[in-house]
Amino acid sequence: MDPILIASLLALGAGVGVAAGLLGIGGGMILVPFLTFLLPRFGVPQELAVHASIATAMATILFTSLSSVRAHHKRGAIRWDVVRAMAPGLILGGMLSGGAVFAVINGTALAIVFGIFVLYSACKMGRNTPVPQGRALPGPGAVAAMGALIGFVSGLLGAGGAFLSVPFMLRGNVPVRQAVATSAALGFFISLANSVGYIWSGEAVNGGQPGMIGYIYWPALLIVSAMSICTAPVGASLAHKISQLALKRIFAAMLTMLAIYMIGQAIVHA
């Protein structure tokens, strides 16, 4: 392997790890554009590069989220009741998305629709619009259904779901630090379900490509994950030192950039 390419993946892993701990994101959507550029240079066929980038980025969340969750759990910030309610839906939605729909959909219209939604959520969060007093998360059934939606959409976009789960929890008056920490835990279930689906759906189309298990390019997975595991606790520590308003605005800025990217990529590849 080219040392420059390996160094690029290590740098990506470091940045994703900090972002995962700080904002509760899995980092998938950050990784995808970079991996789309890098993977063909590792020998991945161009026609598989986008699918491989999304699948590989999602698989890294398995490792990054565990490191981030451990750091947040030590501070008692994770709402495990929300995790338990959402996990079955996340797994169901992720398996359906990664195992069935991912291989046959181009996602252009979906990316535009959700890009607009994410941009709207970012604008509201950036303005720090107060949530009405007394509002809380809906009942377990509605929370589970939201989990299925988040798992499904995340699988199509290669994301850990924080761009949907954090705004959802904030609307239910969950404090931003708890929302970020809980989102990190949710990302593990999203990644697990979708990764299994990507392996299953990709085995028939990767043609025995070296380094690929289904749609996942495992050398990049190992390099990025090794570094992100080390840096995720740094981000988690920062999340508990920054003011809640500042954390909201950082998250809103991240959502805005991701929304613009999603919409732009959808238009370019339409």
Rounded to 5, what percent of the chain is helix, strand, coil? 75, 0, 20
pLDDT digits 0-9 by tens, 209-230: 888 898 899 999 999 989 988 8
Question: What is the number of helices (H) and of strands (E) in the chain?
Answer: 10, 2
Is pLDDT at 131 greater than 60 in this prediction? no
Q: Show Cβ contacts of residue 209 under 8 Å, excluding neighbours closer than 6 positions.
A: 43, 44, 45, 48
For residue 57, the one-letter residue type is A
pTM strictly above 0.85: no
Cα 202 to Cα 215: distance, rounded to the nearest angstrom: 5
Cα 191 to Cα 47: distance, rounded to the nearest angstrom: 23
Is pLDDT at 163 greater than 90 in this prediction? no
pLDDT at residue 223, as a whole number: 92
Least Cα distance to 224 among 23, 51, 32 occurs for 32
Mean pLDDT (whole number) for 253-259? 76
Domain ranges of the chain: 3-268
pLDDT digits 0-9 by tens, 192-206: 988 888 888 777 776
Tell me how many degrees the CA angle 72-75-79 measures, rounded to the nearest 5.
65
Q: Give the SS3 label for residue 212.
A: strand
Q: Above pLDDT 70, what percent of the chain?
A: 83
